[in-house]
Amino acid sequence: MISVSEIGHFALILALGVALFQFVVPLWGAQRGDVAAMRSGISAAVLQLILIAIAFGALMHAYIVSDFSVLNVVENSHSAKPLLYKISGVWGNHEGSMLLWVLILALYGAAVALFGQNLPLELRARVLAIQGSIGLAFLLFIVLTSNPFTRVDPPPIEGNGLNPILQDPALAFHPPFLYSGYVGLSIAFAFAVAALIEGRVDAAWARWVRPWTLVAWMFLTVGIAMGSWWSYYELGWGGYWFWDPVENASLMPWLVATALIHSAVVVEKRNALKIWTVLLSILAFSLSLVGTFLVRSGVLTSVHAFAVDPQRGAFILMILCVFIGGSLSLFAWRAPQLKAGGLFAPVSREGSLVLNNLLLCVASLAVFVGTLYPLALETLTGDKISVGPPYFDLTFGPIILPLLLLVPLGAFLAWKRGDAGLAVRRLWLALVLALLVGVIVFALNVRGPWLAPVGMAVAAWLVFGAIADVAAKVALFKVPLATSWHRLVGLPRSAIGTAVAHAGVGILVAGVIAISLWRVEVIVALKPGESTPVGKYAVTFQGEGPLTGPNYSGRVGTFLLKEGDRELATLHSEKRIFRPSGMPTTEVGLYQTWHGDVYVVMGDETTGGARAMRMYYNPFVNFIWLGAAVMFAGGLLSISDRRYRVGAPKRAASLQAVPAE
Amino acid sequence: MIWIVFAAMTAAVLGALLWPVVRTKPAESVAERAAYDQAVFRDQLAELDRDVARGTIGQAEADAARNEISRRLIAAAQEPGRRRVSGLAWAAIAATLIVPAVALPLYLKAGNPQLADVPHAWRMENAEKNGDMEALIAKVEQHLQTNSDDLQGWQILAPAYRRAMRWDDAVEAYRNIVRLSPPDAANISDYAEAKVMANQGMVPAPVHELFRQALAIDPKLPKARFYDALALKQEGKTDEAKAAFDAFLKDTPADAAWRPMLLAEMQDMSAKPPALDQQTMANASSMSADDQQAMIRSMVDGLDQKLAANPDNLDGWLRLIRARSVLGDTDKAKAAYKKALEQFNGNQDALAQISALGKEMSIE
């Protein structure tokens, strides 16, 4: 019988060979102007995807049929696991997640190869070559130190099972999205390095690189939001963001990628900020590399975990040094040769975007310091310190606040030389509405924290500013409504996308401010039949019973949720004990409304037959994820803009090349 | 067989990589860099015109932008084209050989081409056919999870667990056998034996009781007799243990499998009295000084009694004499000294040791 796993293993190793080819041959071809060599990079990129997909499929097959002759399956799966978690178990571990990483890398590479006809052949070849070099490094890492196809002979009869906390639908799909974001930034990186090799960055380059950056940013946004949603309802701590190093590791590249999608606009429109944009492309991917590996190497959970497998640790460090050090050296050498671009006044669209970039990068730096300082300190002195939310509230908050105030203004400034007064005048209605929201919140919340009205006013400012942006573009109420509608349909999708994404930020800010100010937290011990008020609700603990699942058992508590005399819902919170590990998890009882969630967690038994309960009313918490979804939708609108579908010129001889629209 | 698949995969990869070389396009057919740039700049101009038509951009701003884009367009047109070549066939072919040159040695090092897949379901289905013990056990286990009253199932599992030395599982299996079958000496003693094994060879009182139950049903059952004697020995009832062992040995045929083990236990018996076990030591160390003295005295008394019953133990006598002297019980020490001398009358070596100790303790 032919072994699927061995075919997968062989395909993975063939992909390594193809990656080497993809790195060397197109680069050399672009240098010589060798058309065949450059074009072979396209074949290589597609082959790379096919081969890694075969390997990934083979590993997934081993998981689905519970082939315990594969060590990775033994360590992370169990024959009694539900199918969904057998599949998600493929990337719920170190080796498998690295394989997913290179699969997504290959997917992006193949996408550039297949859909990049609008790119000059030299540029496409060089971009694919840089992609190939990244693939080569990671495939070597996988094959030499983290091989998912290591076999066991004779095989054990059962596996150890997937970490129960990962057996959750949101977490099953969180890593693929997050990785699509991380790895998507590799395309921006490859474009930047290719541009440095060619010695040219211009408006056309920016136009080509922008959609890829935008796609990566969108996936990163959704990935982070899914992770936050998962930690909200699975960990049972009632929070949505903990400034945990693993979360920060994904936030840093997101901040820099956000800066990048904005600075690339300046390059495309004004041919300015070119060097800066190249640097941001390098930094964004470097941070996603650092993020991936801080998480994957286990450095974050403990400095000492890094040393557990010195071979892996050293390899990771080497990859980081080669790619970050190499690209920055190339940048230092080549960047001075890039021609400077257009000039602009401080008060202008460009100026506001520069400020946007500075604030985002400083915010990212603040997160970087807060994440890595404790690590460095522990390595150097052995002291363990914890940098928690107070640090981030004090640094991240004040940096981001001016940025949020600036967002609606920037959108109203003209390119090259803007008029701040004019922009404010055109935004007066949004400003008044935002202040009004602030005043209302202040009135409702007299004894509350001072931040409440300010924060809510900022959120409203963002949303109304975005609406004003679109309203101005369609001349709302200045022309008949039908004309406005007609103009809206005719607007470039990217203009609408920008406004939508900015409104999403406002929605998210509203959620964050609301939950940090008005959350109700109740920690209480209840016996069956007893009630406790949670905000305006009353929760009655009705009792608990046994619980049996496919690979777990435990207790389920039943709660009756009432508002006044009205029964709203019956909630269930579970404590599960998973086989075979015996690890406990909690399932939260959640009652969701548009204005907030009631969140019930059944805790441990206390003396006297009572159970410790934690209950929250989280006002507007879903605005956080709604905001992220709206930001994603904004990205989607932008990416569908027709400017990204400029066709390829047909032949060299023809100077009448016409963009296909 | 699998190598045919590998060869086909490699061939397909090489073919795909060489395709652009074989189907090479003439270099001239590939558009110049400038053409791509111009396509973008023309689109920017068109976009600008649309913005002007929509009125979303001011006239001055639009004019400035149009100027800039036009300059880019002109610059792109003036850019010299790069020389291109169609490609060197031999170099491309040589380059594709990178792939197998890297992949084959790596796979030979890391791969296991000789191993087949072992899907869980397939393994379970073919457990009988393949004589796959582990799979068989798992199958029966699965069956018993829902039919825990199936005696036959437990009867298959129990000896399998015993062979695999999974003692805790064996205890559970034998417990079920005892539960599901009429009282039977062999079953009870198998159950008890598994408990002894799970307990590192010690026979605690409740387990000893099980062996007694077995003996009540069948007084001649060898396994029960052996463990009964062993339990007596471990409980310090040396005489009874000795008697039980002797009786058992008498009934044991010369070729019985357990005979060597029995003899080893008996040999071990006549050696030293049991030393203090760790638990007793630990208890002693946490006691008050008075309690400690009391405990030591009671232990020494125990030793005295044992020597009275079993006096042919030089080591024991020496320890008794030393202990009595150290504790300050001079009279008892002298008595022990006298008895020891009587006991070993005629054994010069032993007498010399005893009198030397007497001198040392000055109880002569």
| Domain's final residue, options A162, A188, A215 | A162
Which residues of chain A lie closer than 8 angstroms to B121, CB-CB? 65-66
Q: At what angle do helices A245-270 and A349-381 cross, to 10 degrees?
A: 150
CA A183-A188-A190 angle, 5° bins? 90
Q: Which residue in the set A10, A43, A475 is minimally distant from B16, CB to CB?
A: A43
Separation between Cα atoms, residue A620 and residue B298, nearest integer Å: 75
- pLDDT tens for A257-267 read 999 999 999 99
CB pairs under 8 A between A and B: 252
Contact A203 B85 (CB under 8 A): no
| Domain's final residue, options A111, A144, A162 | A162
Question: Could you tell me if B141 lies within 8 Å of chain A, comparing CB atoms?
Answer: no
CA distance B78 to chain A (A): 12
**Tally of CB atoms within 10 A around B126:** 12
What class, spelled out in words, does domain B122-270 have in CATH?
A: mainly alpha
pLDDT band at residue B274 using 50, 70 and 90 as cut-offs = very low
Long-range contacts of the stretch A306-310 (C-beta < 8 A, 24+): A309/A145
Separation between Cα atoms, residue A636 and residue A631, nearest integer Å: 9
Residue-range definition of the domain harbouring residue A433: 407-517
Number of domains composing chain A: 2
- pLDDT tens for B92-117 read 788 899 999 999 999 999 999 999 99
Which residues of chain B lie closer than 8 angstroms to A7, CB-CB? 2, 5-6, 9
Q: Which of residues 190 through 219 in chain B touch A, CB cutoff 8 A?
A: none
Q: Which residue in the set A39, A269, A646 is minimally distant from B39, CB to CB?
A: A646
**What would the two tokens of residue A496 be?**
């609408």
Kindly state whether residue A17 falls inside one of the protein's structural domains. Answer: yes
Are B274 and B281 within 8 A, CB to CB?
no
CA distance A628 to chain B (A): 28
Better-scored residue on pLDDT, A321 or B309: A321
Which residues of chain A lie closer than 8 angstroms to B110, CB-CB? 9, 13, 143, 147, 149
Kindly state whether residue A234 falls inside one of the protein's structural domains. Answer: no
pLDDT value for A310 = 65
Chosen from A10, A642, A643, A654 to mutate, greatest number of chain B CBs within 10 A: A10
Question: Could you tell me if B273 lies within 8 Å of chain A, comparing CB atoms?
Answer: no
Residue B84 has pLDDT above 80, yes or no: no
Structural domain spans, chain B: 2-110, 122-270, 284-360
pLDDT value for B248 = 86
pLDDT value for A654 = 39
Q: What are phi and psi of A652, to 5 degrees?
A: -65, -40
**How is A352-420 classified by DSSP, letter by letter?**
HHHHHHHHHHHHHHHHHHHHHHHHHHHHHH-------HHHHHHHHHHHHHHHHHHHHHHHHSPSSS--H
**Tally of CB atoms within 10 A around B2:** 17
pLDDT value for B87 = 60
Strand order through the sheet with A589-593:
A520-526, A611-619, A596-605, A589-593
Separation between Cα atoms, residue B328 and residue B362, nearest integer Å: 12
Which residues of chain B lie closer than 8 angstroms to A40, CB-CB? 17-21, 92, 95
pLDDT band at residue B272 using 50, 70 and 90 as cut-offs = very low
Separation between Cα atoms, residue B343 and residue A352, nearest integer Å: 109
CA distance A32 to chain B (A): 7
Query: With a cut of 70, which residues of chain A have pLDDT below it?
Result: 297-310, 446-449, 580-581, 650-661
**Tally of CB atoms within 10 A around B244:** 19
**Residue A38's domain is classified under what CATH number?**
1.20.120
pLDDT value for A64 = 95
Give B284-360's CATH code, choosing from 1.10.287, 1.10.3470, 1.20.120, 1.25.40.
Answer: 1.25.40
Residue B181's SS3 state is coil
Q: Which residue in the set B69, B112, B123 is minimally distant from A151, CB to CB?
A: B112
Q: Which residue in the set A68, A147, A153 is minimally distant from B110, CB to CB?
A: A147
| Domain's final residue, options A162, A184, A199 | A162
- pLDDT tens for B178-206 read 999 998 998 999 999 998 888 877 888 89
Identical fold for domains B122-270 and B284-360, yes or no, is yes
Contact B87 A7 (CB under 8 A): no
- pLDDT tens for B145-180 read 888 888 888 988 888 888 777 888 889 999 999 999
Chosen from A13, A20, A46 to mutate, greatest number of chain B CBs within 10 A: A13
Q: How far is CA A559 from CA A555, A576, A609, in A?
A: 13, 17, 16
Better-scored residue on pLDDT, B283 or A132: A132
Kindly state whether residue A426 falls inside one of the protein's structural domains. Answer: yes
Separation between Cα atoms, residue B283 and residue B299, nearest integer Å: 14
Question: Could you tell me if B101 lies within 8 Å of chain A, comparing CB atoms?
Answer: yes
pLDDT value for B29 = 66
Separation between Cα atoms, residue B65 and residue A108, nearest integer Å: 33
Chosen from B6, B13, B126 to mutate, greatest number of chain A CBs within 10 A: B13
pLDDT band at residue B294 using 50, 70 and 90 as cut-offs = low
Contact B120 A475 (CB under 8 A): no
- State the average pLDDT for chain A: 87
**What would the two tokens of residue B320 be?**
């008794």
Residue B218 has pLDDT above 80, yes or no: yes
- pLDDT tens for A313-358 read 778 888 989 999 999 999 999 888 887 777 888 888 889 999 999 9
Contact A657 B88 (CB under 8 A): no
pLDDT value for A660 = 39
Percent of chain B beyond pLDDT 90? 18
pLDDT value for A519 = 85
Q: Which residue in the set B17, B33, B68 is minimally distant from A40, CB to CB?
A: B17
Are A655 and B35 within 8 A, CB to CB?
yes
Residue A587's SS3 state is strand
Are B31 and A118 within 8 A, CB to CB?
no
Instruction: Please report the ipTM that was assigned to this predicted complex.
Output: 0.84
Kindly state whether residue A325 falls inside one of the protein's structural domains. Answer: no
pLDDT value for A661 = 38
Q: Which residue in the set A2, A149, A203 is minimally distant from B5, CB to CB?
A: A2
